[in-house]
Chains A and B, each alone.
Chain A
Amino acid sequence: MIQVQNLYKHYARVKAVDGVSFSVGPGEIFGLLGPNGAGKTTTIRTMMDIIKPDRGTIELMGQPVSEASKARIGYLPEERGLYQNYQLLECLTYLGALKGMSRPDARERASALLARAGLEEYAKRKIKELSKGMTQKAQFVAAIVHDPDLLIMDEPFQGLDPVNTDLLKTILQEEQGRGKTVILSTHNMNQVEEMCDRILLINHGQAVLYGPLDEIKARYAEHAVLLECDALPEGLEGVQRAERHNRTYELILEPEATPKSILRQLVEADVGVERFEVATPPLEEIFIDVVESGR
């Protein structure tokens, strides 16, 4: 869907983006992560052709990104707002028309999306009369009103309560189900783990982690297993030490031991195992480790 190759954008004292490459396939939810000031927004703005890169190429469906390709992208920027004095539906219709839709089509699609987002009764209200949460949802609707193929969402769930967060997640997953591609930029690692297939972690303008989320987590897996059972048998070979957290044991393994050898011993000892998994750190921990080590 989108391919970014050797992207560079340097300012006087800052290398905002420094040789970043990645690609996002069709129908994928892709996580674009990084600490504040890492270069995510600059990367996104160059993808949107809002700022020009110093070097590098960005292709959307094999074509260089240009003014024309903007109509196929739905963008929810982190710094966002809507016309306070416009009626909600009027504003969404205008933004849809700016993306190349006819006004009647934009109006119809905006009305349908407002209904989906639970905002239909506010369609004629001025935006300044809406609550913060409603405005957030309205901005989300504004980003997808023109039915784009690629959705770039920068902190889409910011300031939303859990119910509305869940609603927008569902809408995003529905869009993915319709074959749309989503690039999700957020600091909430739980949401990334829940929604993303692959991720790119940028730090100091450079890609520091890139690939399928499972593979990255496996790469950072500790040499340990998590075990949930009634009682831990004694004398398990290859276990350096065991730590108990309520009913869960974390078994730190000897270098030559494997999770498979531990599982075999448990089966042989006829232990009632309720859960057995290779211990992987949460993405948040990996994020902090990688970012801290880059300082």
Chain B
Amino acid sequence: MKQTLLVAGQELWVNVRRPGFILMTLLIPALGGIALLLASLFGGDVGGLIESQFTPQVTAIGYVDHSGIVDASLPQYAGRYIPYPDEAAGRQALLAKEIDSLMVLPEDYLETGKVTVYGIGGGFSTFVAADEGDLRSFLVTNLLEGQVDPAIQERALVPMRLETVTLTETGEESEESPYSFLGDFILPYVFSILFVITIFTTSGFLLQGVSEEKEGRIIEILLSSIGPTQLLAGKILGLGALGLIQVVVWLGAGAALLSAATALFALAGVIKFGLDTILFGVVYFILGYLLFATLMAVAGSMGTTQRESQQIASIFSLAAAIPFMAMSFVFTNPNSTVAVVLSYVPLTSPVMMLMRLGLGDVPPGQIAISLALLVVGIVLSLWAGAKIFRASLLMYGKRPNLKDLARAFRQA
């Protein structure tokens, strides 16, 4: 045990000083801070800022009206919607960049609703130029102007201003913000991303360390002092502590940024973290790390060079990324078969469960099965991993084949 802790301490001490680790640990909170600073510079109108990034900067729209529905005298569109007598004139203005896009209403517009929009510079810019919302309100206004009551015309343009109320189980109105589900989702989602970044960082160090010890022929000297299982355990513990340091720094910085953001942008009640979500987040993080760290160490011991070890490890890295690929299934139905199956497979369950827990109620039975299978997966991978680790470490210049691995299981 003393030696295991010694290895753990050494791994932690050596890796915590790595410039790559320090940079990665500080960079993410720094980016958050910069984002917050920028947002506050825009007077807290984050939504407006984001929206403005996606809204095309339209200065003028030309139109050719063959249907006769447009009232050119409407003051709210004066100067922005410019009429042209025919398409040729409109196109010329478009090419001369006097207008950003040209809308053509055919004679049978009322019957068909067909509208053609011309833009310059390829399909995407034409698509962007046709700001559908703006065109829609222009058309609705022209269609209804003078035909209906102004209040009805206003409702046709903006049919609803949505307000939602959440009822508690007892039927009382909840004081929680209706958007608090965003908070429930954000934490597990952030956890998932942090989890993947951290396992890739720390287990990457583990893989690199083991393959360096093997490739650099240090391993036999180490094994003359410490057993392979103790060595493996020490490395996993040390780098696990390293991963936890990273996560704690990120969570601490995240909490600080969040409270700053809450104060700055009046988000109270919107982002609210449930204790159970945090608890499950930590449990899945630790268990997931243990599994991946063991697998990465084994990959490190199997390759004859670091590159070869990384190739073996990429299989496991890919598995960790599967839940992100299956994200659309989870968003539309957190209890879909794909989501449930991925919550049971130990390689994908930590990330998948974190996502699902944030999105809705996961049956406790499923959580229990998922955790149990994950623990079984860890125990099996530690057991098999220690044997493969022991057998592979002293095989220089040759990657163990299936026969070698089978023998390792018999003899180790």
Q: A residues engaging B (CB < 8 A)?
A: 11-12, 45, 48-52, 67, 70-71, 73, 75, 77, 79-84, 86, 94-95, 97-100, 139, 142-143
Contacts and interface: CB of A to CB of B under 8 A. Distances in A.
A81 B217 contact: yes
Contacts of B218: 80-83
A31 to B, nearest CB: 20
B332 interface: no
Contacts of A52: 411-412
Given A83-B216, A84-B216, A71 B225 contact: yes
B216 A70 contact: no
B217 A97 contact: no
B190 interface: no
Interface of B: 2-3, 6-7, 10, 14, 212-213, 216-218, 220-227, 230, 394, 396, 403, 407, 411-412
A52 to B, nearest CB: 7
A73 B394 CA distance: 19
A27 to B, nearest CB: 22
Contacts of A139: 221
Nearest to A152: B224
A49 B229 CA distance: 13
Contact of B6 (A49, A77, A98): A98
Nearest to B396: A79
13 contacts: A12-B407, A48-B223, A67-B226, A73-B224, A75-B220, A77-B217, A77-B221, A81-B218, A82-B216, A83-B218, A94-B10, A98-B3, A98-B225
A122 B45 CA distance: 60
B205 to A, nearest CB: 13
B221 A75 contact: yes
B337 to A, nearest CB: 45
A11 B6 CA distance: 34
Contact of B223 (A50, A71, A100): A50
B372 to A, nearest CB: 33
Contacts of B10: 94
Contacts of A48: 223-224
A168 to B, nearest CB: 17
Contacts of A75: 220-221, 224
B225 A70 contact: yes
Given A70-B224, A80-B221, A98-B225, A50 B216 contact: no
B220 A98 contact: no
Contacts of B221: 75, 77, 80-82, 95, 139, 142-143
